[in-house]
Amino acid sequence: MSDEKPPVETPAPPAAEAAAPEAQAKPAAPKPPAPKPAAPAGPKKWEPSGEIAENGAAAALKAKFGDVVTGVKSPCKEATVLVPKARLIEILAFLKEDAACAMDYLSDLTGAHYPNNDKKFEVAYHLYSLTRKESLRVKVQLDDGEPCPTATGVWPGADWMEREAHDLLGIVFEGHPNLKVILLPEDFDGHPLRKEFPLGGAQEEMIRSNKYGKPVYLPEEIEEARKIIEERRHDS
């Protein structure tokens, strides 16, 4: 972690150097405001380490869509590519149909929430070629609330996996034939795998903390329940 701090702070020294000659050239001019301290580092962005791994399918994909497909670093040398949302389905269909890729098996489809990144969500497709025995991870980045085109047209097996990602992360898959809840109760509020969602679930924690042992609805009751939760946290 410590070795990632310098890149954040390095912009500051060049700015100071650039400001210095200017100040010498025009001594009369009011001193330019002191260079702002490097923007507060803020919450740490998620970024993979390691190096970009290549394999046959990734190479074939880059040869065809060279300008839009970028490799992603992977600490354990798994071939990973990042593709733009607009051309996602085209690329997935190419990966499935093209003989050099032949990614006929969708092994897994899931998402993850990165609240500190510019694009808050990522959907990862884990593809495998039964004939060529090769794996590839395709990723697409999304904003909060931005819909992702559905892959059910390419692999019908994406159906439930997309429903699951929709349930737990709130990613909307555009064009999905039956995008309704699958793992959660129908009236569940929120998406549990988002990072801001509390582990116990908002409702459950309030019910537990409530002295009446029942759900709370009124604002003052909710406020009271929150206080009790806070107190318990300090106690434990």
Partner 1 sequence: MTAEQQAEKVSPLREIMETREVELNLGPQHPATHGVYRALVKLDGERVLGMESIIGYLHRGIEKWAEYRNWTQATPIFDRLDYVGAVLNCHGYVGAVEKLLGVEVPKKAQYIRVVLDELQRIASHLVWLGTHGLDIGAQSVLFYAIREREAIMDLFEAMLGQRLLPNAYPIGGVRFDFPKGWVEVCRRLLDVLPQRIDEYEGLLTGNRIWRQRTIGVGVISAKDAIALSLSGPTLRGSGVNFDVRKAIPYSSYEDFDFEIPLGQNGDVFDRYLCRVREMRQSLRIIRQALDGMPEGELRGKVSKIIRPPAGEAYFTIEAAKGQLGFYIVSDGGDKPYRVHVKSPSFVNLQGIETMCKGNLIADVVAVIGSLDIVLGEVDR
Beta carbons of 148 and 172 less than 8 angstroms apart: yes
Measure the CA angle with vertex 123, ends 2 and 59; round to 5°.
85
Nearest distance from residue 93's CB to partner 1, in Å? 13
Count of CB atoms situated within 10 Å of the CB of 225? 21
Nearest distance from residue 142's CB to partner 1, in Å? 15
Residues that bind partner 1 (CB under 8 A): 1, 44, 46-50, 73-76, 78, 80, 104-108, 110, 112-113, 124, 126, 128, 130, 133, 135, 137, 155-161, 164, 168, 181-185, 192-193, 197, 199
Which of 167, 225 has the CB closer to partner 1? Answer: 167
Which of 28, 199 has the CB closer to partner 1? Answer: 199
Nearest distance from residue 52's CB to partner 1, in Å? 11
Query: Could you give the CA distance from residue 52 to residue 73 in angstroms, rounded to a whole number?
Result: 4
User: What per-residue string of b and e applies to 133-149 under the rule 16 or more CB within 10 Å gives b?
Assistant: ebbbbbbbbbeeeeebb
Nearest distance from residue 92's CB to partner 1, in Å? 13
Which of 32, 175 has the CB closer to partner 1? Answer: 175
Nearest distance from residue 106's CB to partner 1, in Å? 5
Which of 87, 191 has the CB closer to partner 1? Answer: 191
Bridge partners of 81, per DSSP, are 71, 138
Beta carbons of 81 and 71 less than 8 angstroms apart: yes
Beta carbons of 72 and 82 less than 8 angstroms apart: yes
Which residues contact residue 192 at a Cβ distance below 8 angstroms, ignoring those fewer than 6 apart? 168, 184, 201
Nearest distance from residue 77's CB to partner 1, in Å? 9
Query: Could you give the CA distance from residue 205 to residue 229 in angstroms, rounded to a whole number?
Result: 8
Count of CB atoms situated within 10 Å of the CB of 221? 16
Which of 25, 199 has the CB closer to partner 1? Answer: 199
Nearest distance from residue 107's CB to partner 1, in Å? 6
Which of 155, 173 has the CB closer to partner 1? Answer: 155
Which of 99, 199 has the CB closer to partner 1? Answer: 199
Q: Which of 120, 133, 132, 139 is nearest to 193 (CA)?
A: 120
